[in-house]
Amino acid sequence: MIGVALKGLAGRKLRAILTSLAIVLGVAMVSGTFVLTDTIQKAFDNVFTTSYRSTSVVIAGKEIVKNAANGNATVPEALLPKVRALPDVAAAAGGFLFADVKLVDRRGKPIEGKGGAPTLGFGVDPNQPRFNPLALTQGSWARGPHQIVIDAGTAARRGYRVGDTIAAKGAGAVERYRIAGLVKISGVSIGGATLAAFDVPTAQAVLDKRGQLDGISVAGKPGVSDTELVAEIAPLLPPTVEAKTADAAARSASKDTSQGIKIFRIILLTFGGIALFVGAFVIFNTISITVAQRAREFATLRTLGASRQQVLRSVLLESLAIGALASLIGLFGGLGLAKGLSALLTAVGIDLPKASTVFALRTVVVAMVTGTLITLLAGLFPAVRATRVPPIAAVREGAVLPPSRHPRLRPVLAVVVVALGLAFLADGIFVATSAKGVLIPLGIGTLLLFVGVAMVSSHIVRPLAAFVGAPARRFGGMAGRLASENSVRNPGRTATTAAALMIGLALVTFVATLGRGLLRSDEDALNRQAQADYLLTPSSSSDTGLFPTGAADAVSSAAGVANVSAVRSDRAHALGGDVDVAGVDGNTIGALYHFDWKQGTDGLLPFLGGNGAVVNKAYAKSHHLKVGSSFTLKTSAGLKAPFTVKGIYDPPQIDQLFYGLVISQFAFDATFPSPKNEYAFVDTRGDTTPRQTSALSRALTAFPDTKVQTKAAWVKERAGGINTILDTFYVLLALSVLVSLFGMVNTLVLSVFERTRELGMLRAVGMTRIQMRRMVRHESVITALIGAAIGLPLGVFLAALVTRGLSDQGVGFHLPVLTLAIFAAVAIAAGVAAAVLPARRASRLNVLEALQYE
């Protein structure tokens, strides 16, 4: 039977190829995701390993507050000579690594890293080259307060050479420096990042960190282990500083980047999984059709003595062979897809560090097992049906598979599956609290809902076909009428074919509808909070999301400005966790930002003083705070300050401008190191003319990392980030729609095989080639519209369900009518595209040969 199965598969090459395409695409997405993310991880690991290649121990400030604006605590420069004096230390050097210094071009514009890549800033000791991660390609190291070195890539792109002057901006105003040399990071690519380096004293001045260092690199004497050196250094360290071996420091840095890469991997694998899920429907439908077409063949095998188990193994072996071959092709196709995704990221400006391609064993195992197993499971039910063909069917004309033994149970089972899906969705939306607890039930519930709807869809094919096929019957002539009849000849097959497209359209509809609700709700929340005519925010070149306090001061003196209220921002540790803290000017903020008070009024803001705080209602509830409660803030530098709750406010749940705690600017500047602004609200008495905008822009000439926008433009840009996410999801979901398109092509091609004699008869009685092509096209479009008629409402239902669960977060339901119409048009286009090959083959059938076909 093995030989029979493989010979039969070889004799149906076209069908096997069409069947395997769905799995090839899905597995390629999975394989490509692992290859791409593993390669990116290796590139970053190389950067960190190279940076510490000549270092034994790294001394750095502790992470007291996660994601603090000023990073970790700094290291006192006075510690450096003490470390150098230790008996087992061969050498030590202080340095800086930062991302908040910007190069400025000849036009006064920030030099952006490609694709939002950061500007890597370094403060290096040119007298200690062993600790320097950079390598000169031209010139010399920067020495003194007026010199800088930049990366060779930026110099080439922007036309700078050694000896030229370039501007740079740190904590203060823009300063000009002479380019002493061009550099790169030894042995690795920095991707699209730009790079600037100073000597250590200049870096301290640029960053306003005099007397401080980001870290100290230490090399031990021969024979001294890194762990022994850490133990020797430890007694010298203040409470906010720690020492790690170079290996531990590299692993720690790598761990931080791996978290972001892990999220990226999960997102891509999710969409790869969706493609494979859709592919399972395609495989199931294709194998079901081929099994039905081979009923007489199976009956002949039974007549010749084959048992039911042998027939079952024969069909499963074909599924296994198709799945393994498709998975193998998809596995290596993933290599090409990974390179294509990398090239696409580079083309759109996201130029990541480079490394040799990583093709891990895990990638091979996951891709091969996933693709093969899904194909095998999809072929199981058709294989079972093949065993039910009686031997007597071998001598019957037009032998068909026997009907299911329990057809009445199918609707009941479908209802049970749909009910389970809704139960999981309800659990994820209304019961679960953690992110994992929400996402897993949502994923399982959505899959079950799709399966249940697909199971019951065969019972609604006829009414749907009558509705969506009306234009074909009315305007398509005889070809349209025949196509409408053909679409309901086998409702189960049509339903399964439409189900693949239904899933893709349901998901894009869900994303579009939920996204529209998020967008409108976000715009409403932002308009409700900001009461200013203009807002100052960080420019796109700001890696920290903050800008210097001097920018707001500069704008306050511009013509036409009536009032400016700057908002500082950072994070601190309080009440057992980290919290966002905003510093406001109590005399001006009440007029330019709307506080929805639960306890207190705008009148208390000018009297916050040095220890008063206003707290978010949610934060107050979770930490059992009330007016009069006291707590202590601890900053990233280890400073502590006591505060008392003076009022409680309740901001919108979606896109809050202030999270957690609000204190006075006076207290903020006294508590937090190097304070910076996140926003500045500007009142111009309603004047938002181009002339006023130009006046504000001119006031910011010395602050290229800050931009000014009207409130309307700011709201549009900030909320518009949701559209960027939606566009990304559409692109990723397009793969599942493409898989469903192959499924439609597959079904139509197999249908043409199955109806060869019928098509020959139609040609014999006068149907032209053009009419034949039209009939197949109409049938394809009707099938696609059935998928759309199920998928679009299902996607809207899912979005409405999730929106209901998010209503307490301020998310409302908004139906994107135009977008849904576009999706319906896409379904029609998919139907037309899917029919091209089958229609061409049908129209080219030889009439006499077709009439003789069995």
Q: For the segment 535-587, what is each residue's pLDDT rounded down to a tens digit?
A: 999 886 555 678 888 889 999 988 889 999 999 999 999 988 899 999 999 99
Q: Percent of the chain scored above 70 by pLDDT?
A: 89
- Give the residue-averaged pLDDT of 809-815: 79
Q: Which helix (H) or strand (E) holds 184?
A: strand 174-185
Whole domain around residue 788: which residue ranges?
Answer: 460-530+712-854
pLDDT classification of 177: cutoffs 50, 70, 90: very high
Phi-psi region of 604 (alpha: psi -120 to 50; beta: other; left: phi over 0): alpha
pLDDT classification of 16: cutoffs 50, 70, 90: low
The reported pLDDT for the residue numbered 3 is: 57
Query: Is residue 341 a part of any domain in this protein?
Result: yes
- Give the residue-averaged pLDDT of 200-227: 88
Residue 390, phi then psi, degrees to nearest 5: -75, 150
Task: Work out the number of other CB atoms within 10 angstroms of the CB of residue 98.
Answer: 21
Q: For the segment 120-169, what is each residue's pLDDT rounded down to a tens digit?
A: 788 888 888 888 888 888 999 999 999 999 988 888 888 899 999 998 88
The reported pLDDT for the residue numbered 647 is: 93
The reported pLDDT for the residue numbered 118 is: 65
Res 117 pLDDT > 70: no
**Residues 6+ away with beta carbon under 8 Å from 150:** 103, 160, 166, 179, 182, 183, 194, 195, 196, 197
Residue where one domain finishes, among candidates 402, 424, 442: 402
Q: What is the DSSP string of 733-769?
A: HHHHHHHHHHHHHHHHHHHHHHTHHHHHHHHHTT--H
The reported pLDDT for the residue numbered 180 is: 93
Query: Is residue 818 a part of any domain in this protein?
Result: yes
Residue 212, phi then psi, degrees to nearest 5: -125, 160
> Which of 343-357, 437-451, 677-691, 737-751 holds the top average pLDDT?
677-691
Mapped onto helix, strand or coil, the DSSP state of residue 351 is coil
pLDDT classification of 192: cutoffs 50, 70, 90: low
CA distance 62 to 72: 6
Burial readout 725-762 (b: 16 or more C-beta within 10 A, e: otherwise): ebeebeebbbbbbbbbbbbbbbbbbbbbbbbbbebbeb
The reported pLDDT for the residue numbered 666 is: 92
Say how many domains are in the chain: 5
Mapped onto helix, strand or coil, the DSSP state of residue 55 is coil
Quote the DSSP letter at residue 431.
I
Query: Are both 321 and 431 inside the same structural domain?
Result: no
**Residues 6+ away with beta carbon under 8 Å from 783:** 487, 494, 497, 498, 501, 744, 747, 831
The reported pLDDT for the residue numbered 633 is: 92
Res 615 pLDDT > 90: yes
Query: Are both 373 and 440 inside the same structural domain?
Result: no
More confident residue, 344 or 628: 628
**Any idea what the Cα angle at residue 679 is, between residues 69 and 73, rounded to 5°?**
10
CA distance 794 to 798: 6
Res 664 pLDDT > 90: yes
The reported pLDDT for the residue numbered 95 is: 86
Mapped onto helix, strand or coil, the DSSP state of residue 651 is coil
Cα of 531 vs its chain's centroid, Å: 32
Query: Is residue 205 a part of any domain in this protein?
Result: yes
The reported pLDDT for the residue numbered 357 is: 81
> Mean pLDDT in the chain?
82
The reported pLDDT for the residue numbered 646 is: 93
Query: Are both 778 and 854 inside the same structural domain?
Result: yes
Query: Are both 22 and 78 inside the same structural domain?
Result: no
pLDDT classification of 6: cutoffs 50, 70, 90: low
The reported pLDDT for the residue numbered 270 is: 83
Query: Are both 388 and 376 inside the same structural domain?
Result: yes
Residue where one domain finishes, among candidates 663, 682, 711: 711
Under 8 Å between Cβ of 185 and 136:
no
pLDDT classification of 629: cutoffs 50, 70, 90: very high
Q: For the segment 283-298, what is each residue's pLDDT rounded down to a tens digit?
A: 877 777 777 666 667 7
Dihedral of the alpha carbons of 121, 707, 114, 724, in degrees to the nearest 10:
130
Under 8 Å between Cβ of 243 and 226:
no
Query: Are both 85 and 223 inside the same structural domain?
Result: yes
For residue 280, which of 56, 527, 25 has the smallest C-alpha distance? 25
Query: Are both 232 and 301 inside the same structural domain?
Result: no
Query: Is residue 453 a part of any domain in this protein?
Result: yes
The reported pLDDT for the residue numbered 641 is: 92
Under 8 Å between Cβ of 438 and 428:
yes
Q: Percent of the chain scored above 90 by pLDDT?
A: 18
- Give the residue-averaged pLDDT of 6-25: 67
For residue 498, which of 834, 30, 269 has the smallest C-alpha distance? 834
Query: Is residue 480 a part of any domain in this protein?
Result: yes
More confident residue, 589 or 852: 589
pLDDT classification of 510: cutoffs 50, 70, 90: confident
Query: Is residue 68 a part of any domain in this protein?
Result: no
Query: Are both 665 and 746 inside the same structural domain?
Result: no
Q: For the segment 490-499, what is each residue's pLDDT rounded down to a tens digit?
A: 787 778 778 8
More confident residue, 398 or 335: 335
Q: How far is CA 159 from CA 93, 107, 164, 165, 697, in A?
A: 33, 13, 10, 11, 27
pTM: 0.77
- Give the residue-averaged pLDDT of 609-629: 91
pLDDT classification of 99: cutoffs 50, 70, 90: low
Query: Are both 367 and 344 inside the same structural domain?
Result: yes
Query: Are both 662 and 619 inside the same structural domain?
Result: yes
For residue 51, which of 164, 213, 203, 215 has the smallest C-alpha distance? 215
More confident residue, 411 or 777: 777
Query: Is residue 63 a part of any domain in this protein?
Result: no
The reported pLDDT for the residue numbered 845 is: 74
CA distance 645 to 630: 6
Q: What six digits make up the tokens of 170? A: 């740190």
Q: Which amino acid is at 408?
A: R
- Give the residue-averaged pLDDT of 98-118: 74
Res 692 pLDDT > 80: yes
Task: Work out the number of other CB atoms within 10 angstroms of the CB of residue 407.
Answer: 8
Query: Is residue 60 a part of any domain in this protein?
Result: no
> Which of 8-22, 529-543, 579-593, 710-724 holds the top average pLDDT?
579-593
Query: Are both 143 and 19 inside the same structural domain?
Result: no
Residue where one domain finishes, among candidates 711, 742, 775: 711
Residue 176, phi then psi, degrees to nearest 5: -110, 140
Query: Are both 323 and 471 inside the same structural domain?
Result: no
Task: Work out the number of other CB atoms within 10 angstroms of the CB of residue 598.
Answer: 14
